[in-house]
């Protein structure tokens, strides 16, 4: 693997000198499809998302809740790997698992007491490394700090929806 520090050094310097160049707008796009579904390009594949079986879906399509957890696992895994590389912490094996609790009464609109969305999300990292406990604590702390998806979820950032007419 190419030395991560040498790749990131010029970017870090650029962002220090020109902070506005560090602002990048990421985008996702989808198209509503047949039945209750939405197809979206993930960058590597086309994914068809649909209702979770707990809300009447067939279970053959990706569930957006699962996709959110998958995004968390992917981001945390890449972040952990980058931090371990930067700190020269050897990783022999690492698996990540995210679980989240949903009360579908909220999503289906049958209980105002039940939240729409996850009540709690847990990220578990199973790690084998000869590193010290102190190094692993630092690795976990920095992984949490720099994981974009985890920090976005924790901050509960505003999401603004708008409508535009495609016919124009």
* CATH number for position 72: 3.30.300.20
Helix (H, G, I), strand (E, B) or coil at 101: strand
pTM: 0.82
Does 46 reside within a domain?
A: no
Does 122 reside within a domain?
A: yes
Does 99 reside within a domain?
A: yes
Q: What is the number of other CB atoms lying within 10 angstroms of the CB of residue 152?
A: 13
Does 41 reside within a domain?
A: no
Residue-level pLDDT at 37: 66
**Regions of the chain with pLDDT less than 50:** none
Residue-level pLDDT at 143: 94
Beta strand 62-63 with 46-50 is parallel
Residue-level pLDDT at 165: 83
Q: How far apart are CA 66 and CA 79, in angstroms?
A: 20
Residue-level pLDDT at 142: 96
Domain that holds residue 128: 63-155
**Total structural domains within the chain:** 1
């Amino acid at each position: 693997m190419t030395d991560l520090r040498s790749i990131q050094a010029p970017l870090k310097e650029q962002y220090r000198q020109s902070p506005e160049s560090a602002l990048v707008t990421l985008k996702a796009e989808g198209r509503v499809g047949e039945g209750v579904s939405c197809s979206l390009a993930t960058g590597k594949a086309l994914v068809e998302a649909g209702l979770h079986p707990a809300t009447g879906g067939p279970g053959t399509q990706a569930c957006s809740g699962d996709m959110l957890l998958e995004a968390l696992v992917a981001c945390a895994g890449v972040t952990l790997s980058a931090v371990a590389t930067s700190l020269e912490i050897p990783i022999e094996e690492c698996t990540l698992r995210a679980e989240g609790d949903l009360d579908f009464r909220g999503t289906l609109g049958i209980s105002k007491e039940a939240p729409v969305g996850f009540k709690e999300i847990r990220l578990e990292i199973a790690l084998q490394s000869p590193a010290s406990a102190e190094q692993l604590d630092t690795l976990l702390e920095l992984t949490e700090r720099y994981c974009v998806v985890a920090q976005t979820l924790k901050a509960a950032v505003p999401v603004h929806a708008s409508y535009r007419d495609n016919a124009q």
